Chains A and B, each alone.
Chain A
Amino acid sequence: MPPPPCSPFSPRSCWHSSTCHSSWWRSTRSTSDRTFGWPPPGFTTQWWHAALQAQGPRDALLTSVKAGLGATTIALVLGTLLALALSRYDFFGKHAISILVVLPIALPGIVTGVALQSVIQNVLTPVFGIGAGLFTIIVGHATFCIVVVFNNVTARLRRMGASLDHASADLGARPWTTFRLVTFPLLRSSLLAGALLAFGLSFDEIVVTTFTAGPDSQTLPIWIFDNLFRPNQAPVVNVIAVVLVALSIVPVWVAQRLGGTDAAGSRL
C-alpha cells in the first residue's frame, strides 16, 4: 500500500499532504497549552494512548459501522432493483424516476436533514413511538446511498446488454433463476464497488446525521465535530484524524484491485 504520493506536478496532492501533515504533526507533537499553535511545542505519544483508551470515540465508531452496514444493505437492495427496472424496462415516468434518485445527493443535505428531523418529531415519535436513533440514521443514510449503488449497477448493466438475459430466458430459465445464475454473477464486482462507496458515504456523512441522530447515537463524525473545539480533546481528535486519513488509502486500494478506475470513487 503506497502512501499518498506527492508529485511536483500535482499542486493538489501537495496541498493535501501538507494539510494532512499538519494534523499528523500535531497529533504526535502537541501538548495541551498551545493546541492550535504552529509549530507544535514538543514531541509526545501520550495522545495516542489517550485516544486508544477513550470510550467516546470507540462507541461512536461502533455506531458509525452499524449505520454504514445498515444503510449499505438497504441501498444495495433498493439500488439494484431500481437499476434493473430502469435499464431493462421502458415505461412512462422513467425520466422522472432517474431524477428522483439523484435528488438526495444533488439537493443540500441540510434540507434533507431538517425534513427528516421534522418527520421524526411530528410523525415517527408521536404515532409509532420511534425516536431519533440508529434506525433513523440508517433511514436517512440509505436514502442518499441508493444513488451510488444505482449508478454502479446501471453502468454495468448498460455495458452488459440484455442478450445474456434473453439467452437464459430462451433456454427456459425463470426470471429469478436468470438473475441468480446469470445477472448476479456479472454484477458482483459493481455491487461491491457500490457497497464500498455507499459505506464510505455513510461513514463520512455528518449533516443528515446531525438531524436524525438522537442523543444516545453518536456517529464518529458527530463525535469529532462535538469535540473539535474543546481544547482538552483536540489532541485526541488529531490522533483520530490521522488514523482516518491513513485508512482512506484502503478503499482506493480495494477499488483498484476491483479493477477499473470507475469503481474507485467517481460520482460519490
Chain B
Amino acid sequence: MRNRRGLALLLGPPLLWLVVAYLGALAAIFATAFFTTDPFTNLVVRTFSTENFRGLLSATYVGIIGRTLLIAVMVTVLCVLVAVPFAFFMARVAPRRLRGLLLAAVLVPLWASYLVKAYAWRTMVQPGGVLDSTVGASPGYGLGAVVLTLTYLWLPYMILPVYAAFERLPESHLEASADLGGGPVATFRRVVVPSILPAIAAGSVFTFSLSLGDYIAVQIVGGKLQVLGTAVLQNITLDLPFAAALGTASVVIMVVYLLAVRRTGALENL
C-alpha cells in the first residue's frame, strides 16, 4: 500500500505535465485536422470532415511529402555511411589521445548553435561563396545543399551511439570470428553489423526525425524548396486545420518509423 503511494507521488507530477502540456496539446491539434476553414473569414469551422486528409493526396502535397521523405532517407543513409567508418576508427584504431581529440571534434559542433551552423553552410554553398571560390563548384541553394547541411547537422547523433556500440563490442568476438575462419568481410557482415545495428537504428531515429521536421535549415540553404515543415508554416495562419493535417502526416510517418525500428531494440538505446 505504502509502495503504491510512493509510486503515485513519483509518477503524478511528471505524468500530469506530459499529459496536460504535451499530449493534450497534440490531441487538440489532431482534432483540428478534422475541422475546416471558412474560405471567407479564415475562421476554423468545427464540423467533422476528412477533407483535409483528401487534400494531402493532391499531386502538390504528395510531391512535398515524397520530397521530405527522400531528404530524410538520404540524410540518414549519408550519416550512416560517414559515421560507421569514422566511429570504427575512433573506437578501435585511433590511439587514446587522438580518440579524445576526435570525440571533442564530434561534440563541439553538437553544442554549437544550430542556426550558426546552418548559416555557416549558407556561406559555404551560396553562389560566389566559400565552395564556389575555393573548390570551384557548389550545389547552390536547393535540395543538394539541404541534404548536405542536414547531414552535417545531425551527424553527431549518428556517430555517438555507433561509437558507443563499437566500444562495447568485445575484442573476443572478433577474434572468435577470425579463429573460425571468418575473413574481414564475413566478420564485418556477421559479427560487427548485427552488434552495431541497434545503435544505427537509434541514431537514425534522430537523423530521420530531425530531417523530416526541419524547415529552418531548408529556409536558409534550400532556396525555394518546399518540404513538409515549410508547408505547415505556410498554412498555419490561413488554414490551421490543413496545417494540422500536414503535421499529422509527419507524425504518422514518424510513428511508423519508430514502430519499424523498435524491433531492432533501438528504442532502449535512445
Contacts and interface: CB of A to CB of B under 8 A. Distances in A.
Interface stretch (B9-17, B55-63, B176-184, B187-195): B9-17
Contacts of A161: none
A108 B212 contact: yes
B69 to A, nearest CB: 13
Contacts of A38: 123, 128-130, 132-133
Contact of A79 (B14, B116, B236, B251): B14
B174 interface: no
B247 interface: yes
Contacts of B120: 19-20, 22-23, 241
Interface string B112-140: 11111101111110101110110000000
Given A22-B130, A110-B213, 20 more contacts: A16-B109, A22-B129, A38-B129, A85-B7, A85-B14, A97-B15, A102-B267, A106-B209, A106-B258, A107-B213, A108-B209, A109-B213, A110-B247, A112-B22, A114-B244, A115-B28, A221-B114, A221-B115, A265-B107, A266-B160
A interface, over-half SS = helix
B119 A37 contact: no
B111 A248 contact: yes
Nearest to B11: A85
Q: Which 10 residue pairs are nearest across A and B when measured between Cβ atoms? A: A108-B213, A13-B105, A115-B25, A19-B120, A248-B111, A85-B10, A248-B112, A78-B14, A115-B29, A241-B116
B interface, over-half SS = helix
Interface stretch (A47-55, A139-147, A185-193): A139-147
A36 B109 contact: no
Interface of B: 3, 6-7, 10-11, 13-15, 17-18, 21-26, 28-29, 32, 82, 86, 89, 94, 98, 101-117, 119-124, 126, 128-130, 132-133, 152, 155-157, 159-161, 164, 202, 205, 209, 212-213, 215-216, 220, 228-229, 232-233, 236, 240, 243-244, 247, 250-251, 254, 258, 267, 270
A36 B123 contact: yes
A264 interface: yes
Given A5-B101, A107-B254, A112-B25, A265 B110 contact: yes
Nearest to B161: A266
B116 A224 contact: yes
Contacts of A107: 209, 213, 250-251, 254
Contacts of B129: 22, 36, 38
Contact of B104 (A36, A110, A252): A252
Contacts of A256: 104
A139 to B, nearest CB: 6
- Interface size on A, as a range, is 35 or more
A100 B121 CA distance: 34
14 contacts: A4-B108, A5-B101, A13-B109, A23-B116, A36-B123, A38-B123, A82-B11, A89-B10, A108-B228, A108-B250, A112-B26, A119-B28, A206-B114, A266-B160
